[in-house]
Amino acid sequence: MSISARIYVYAVITIGTCVTLSELFRWQSQDVLRFICYLALAMMASRLKVSLPTVTGTMSVTFIFILFGIVELSLPEALCLGVGATLIQCYWHHRTQPKLHQVLFNLGSTSIAIATASTVFHSNLMHKGHLDGALMLMVTATVFFAMNTFPVSAAIALTEQKSLRQVWRESYFWSFPYYLLGAGLAGAASAINRYLSRPGGLYHLSLLLPISGAHGGRKETR
């Protein structure tokens, strides 16, 4: 790994760690039992992958649960959900154990993406603009997609001495429609959750997913 790649990777790790710790110190939860149920379901779902057209390899469904967490949970809870699911994803069904800095980088980039997307979704600009809930979720999913894929693409580009645009386009560009589809599923689960007035939305979301047991290579995304 080049010096520039090392600096970048450890910068993402540091920023992500600071974001996570600062939010955990401000922990808040309206319903701890509900959060534990959501966390358990998200961690179980993180072990599963879906095979999608136009996307090489497989794609994790974790990002859909994270989007749901951003909508339904506080930021500290959403971060815990995302970090927990990412940890399971890093270690489950890997023939070779990932290196520590790779795991920490994934956790850091995930934390940054969740915090950024949550800030956008709950921002005054979004709510004062009286935007439709579906449109808000689409915007949030777009922000999460960008913050979730560009940092990883940048790390690969620096490590392999390739163009960032080339790496991102080859690895993640065609997965964007599925982030928008994920936003729709998260929105549907949130609506079900509010209609039933009980923490069943994430459970129903897990039933909506076309889950496959296949596993893929580098082009897998959260």
Tell me what pLDDT residue 21 has: 94
Tell me what pLDDT residue 49 has: 67
Q: Is the pTM of this model over 0.85?
A: no
Query: At 99, is the secondary structure helix, strand, or coil?
Result: coil
Taking 3-state DSSP, the helix, strand and coil percentages for the chain, each rounded to the nearest 5, stand at: 70, 0, 25
Distance CA 160, CA 162 (A): 6
Tell me what pLDDT residue 215 has: 35
- With CA atoms as reference, report the closest residue to 39 among 79, 94, 96: 79
Distance CA 216, CA 50 (A): 10
Mean pLDDT of the chain: 80
Distance CA 146, CA 149 (A): 5
- With CA atoms as reference, report the closest residue to 44 among 29, 28, 60: 60
- Tokens standing for residue 75: 């930021």
How do residues 31-41 score in pLDDT, each as one tens digit? 888 888 888 88
- With CA atoms as reference, report the closest residue to 82 among 102, 61, 100, 97: 61
- With CA atoms as reference, report the closest residue to 68 among 91, 90, 38: 38
Domain 3-208, what architecture? Answer: Orthogonal Bundle (1.10)
Q: Comparing 102 with 48, which gets the higher pLDDT?
A: 102
Q: How confident is the model at residue 96 (pLDDT cuts 50, 70, 90)?
A: confident
- Tokens standing for residue 21: 């710790």
CA distance to 62, 63, 148, per residue, from 222 (Å): 5, 5, 8
Residue type, 94: H
